[in-house]
Structure 1
């Protein structure tokens, strides 16, 4: 059943609604991505100008159900990295295991939603939590809430696709945590064979060699991890400075 949902949402991720906001628009995204030799430079220039206030402003619109597209969700994800809640290497494995338990092996859909909501309370851009809420609400027969989370899920996935093509370091997909890498790959039906951390021109990347079992193909996908890597470095530096006092 879970694979049926993954395939379904993979298809939905390619579509989004029109939107007009003060933030980067879809046309500006296309313009920023048109020069592949420049890579992600223009997007990072935009990201650097975002603030935590931008995140909370957009978050209100998301929760209100406003018509937003993948470009708005790119801004939402990137602005989230400016908040105090941003913790890209937080431990979530056990929490996700419990959610899957209550969704599939020992069904208790309301418990699954409660656990997922506990993550969303501090990290509303967590892709898997929205996916789990979509499945749980659908199984409970609440189509309105299922579709609400489904729209967020597909726009979060779509916003990663907007940031690059993943074919080279210059055009790597921009992610804010490792979990986003795996959410994208799962939506595409790809599995990871090998993974390596590389650096180039002052940036850091996860290079994943992935395979499509059905098509029997393999390829390399690059993810730019500057945002989570720099946040981790900042926290380590802060801890060392504090401990030296």
Structure 2
């Protein structure tokens, strides 16, 4: 009998050992499925494991992680809570639970679990940073800097903490600390331009464009191909050349002081042929213009022969090679964008993108500066929220270029009249489904269209008269 119980015990121990090995192997498979973004397959596997062993905290932790990655935050919360109920010291589950609560905008719960996390893992700088961010989102500013500085205290090489503190000290006007953290960030992130970009963006907020250009030129010695760096450089040179009295900044975007849509006729009266010829020559040479000059060039196109506000066709070569992703051939036709009146922004975008993909940075800057300058010039005429602040456009296609630039697609369009002006109202839709009405002043396109109809009718009448005279 004694021998029987010993054998039974050995069998149980063996079965437990085999199951533990099997569970570990299956968990490894589940982790691999998560890493390869096969979240649903991982969840199915984990559910099968739960039927065999419902007391493994790691299974629920991993299941919660998969649900989080599929944006099913309520389910991720439920599974993380189950894991923590099984193991109250499971710090990774606690951190991820806080993260899921944050995704659900339940900031008080996120705060509670981030606090619990740093009690368990007081040496993780990210825990302090995330807690500081969560407090800020609730308007609890009193403790925010304490936790940011605490993160730096536990890990003085943490780039996230250094980056954030540089921003904070800039806002607090603690110049010496700001410079110290920028300098340290640059030293620690050798080969990366993130801290140059931060420094440049912050100086740009103070309208110190000359300083920003210097920062960008220094950063380009580290990485001349960084897109955001090139964009910041182009913008800063452009605004450096722009009369400070002609622009202001509203909500981080540059706006013209006088070039608004209700003064359109006065603006157009001040545009002459020199604005087109002079600025086109400079743009072809790769010169970055002022924001005013880009906008004046944009408007001057309406006076050129062949201008059409509604019937501009895409360049066939650029279109063909863009679809084929044959950028080597596409860039050979880059100069052809200047044959169109007006310039097609979509063609400009494709040419500059092709040059960027090929690493032709100088050519990329040349074409992107034109694309960026014209778009920012249009955006500087208003904010598009009502007729009085409508964006000025000279072609209908530019309305859609602006929407795309702002991260929206158009879902509907309407034409209205107001105080002697014509407006297109496009309903723009962001990727998350949020909708926004955007107003465009379309006086120029409609005037151009009416003129073309009047001209066509005149030609038709002349032909008929000639025919009658011949019959007589």
Q: What interval of TM-score do these two structures reach, taking the shorter chain for normalisation?
A: 0.7 to 0.9
- Give the Cα–Cα distance (whole angstroms) in 2 for the partners of residues 91 and 79 of structure 1: 16
Offset of residue 141 of structure 1:
2.6
- Using the TM superposition, give the Cα deviation of residue 149 of structure 1 relative to its aligned residue in structure 2, in angstroms: 0.9
Choose from 231, 235, 238 the match for 2:452: 235
Q: Which moved further from structure 2: 118-127 or 83-92?
A: 118-127
- 3-state DSSP of counterpart to 1:148: helix
SS at match of 1:53: helix
Instruction: Confirm whether residue 113 of structure 1 aligns to residue 335 of structure 2.
Output: no
Q: Paired residue for 1:149?
A: 367
SS of 1:170's equivalent? Answer: helix
Q: How far off is 1:177 after superposition? A: 0.6
Unaligned runs of 5+ in 1: 1-7
Q: Distance in 2 between matches of 1:197 and 1:235?
A: 19
Higher strand share: 1
CA RMSD of aligned residues (A): 2.8
Kindly state the Cα deviation for residue 51 of structure 1 after the two structures are TM-superposed. Answer: 1.9
- Where does structure 2 lack aligned partners over 5 or more consecutive residues? 1-226, 250-254, 463-472
Using a 3 Å threshold, how does the CA distance of structure 1 residues 197 and 102 change in structure 2: closer, same or farther?
same
Map of 2:280 onto structure 1:
59
Q: Residue 73 of structure 1 aligns with which residue?
A: 294
Q: Does the C-alpha gap of structure 1 residues 39 and 124 become closer, same or farther in structure 2, counting only changes over 3 Å?
A: closer
Number of residues of Structure 1 aligned to a counterpart in Structure 2? 227
Instruction: Work out whether residues 271 and 300 of structure 2, in 8 Å CA contact, stay in contact via their aligned partners in 1.
Output: yes
Match of 2:419 in 1: 201
Question: Following TM superposition, by how much is the alpha carbon of 1:118 offset from its aligned partner in structure 2, in angstroms?
Answer: 2.9
Cα separation, 1, equivalents of 2:279 and 2:350: 22
Say if 1:124 and 1:241 are closer, same or farther in 2 by CA, change over 3 A.
Answer: closer
1:25-174 matches, cutoff 5 A: 25=243, 27-30=245-248, 40-92=261-313, 95=315, 99-103=318-322, 105-114=323-332, 117-123=335-341, 125-174=343-392
Instruction: Name whichever structure is richer in helix by fraction.
Output: 2
Query: How far 1:100 sits from its partner (Å)?
Result: 4.7
Greater Cα radius of gyration, structure 1 or 2: 2
Q: Which moved more, 1:26-35 or 1:169-178?
A: 26-35
CA distance in 2 between counterparts of 1:39 and 1:76 reads 16
Q: CA deviation at 1:77?
A: 0.3
Higher relative contact order (CA 8 A, sep 6+): 1
Question: Residues 86, 15 of structure 1: CA spacing in aligned structure 2 closer, same or farther, 3 A cutoff?
Answer: same
C-alpha change, 1:239 and 1:165, in structure 2 (3 Å) is same
How many Å separate the matches in 2 of 1:120 and 1:186?
22
- The structural deviation recorded for 1:30 is 4.4
What is the alpha-carbon distance in structure 1 between the residues aligned to residue 257 and residue 460 of structure 2? Answer: 47
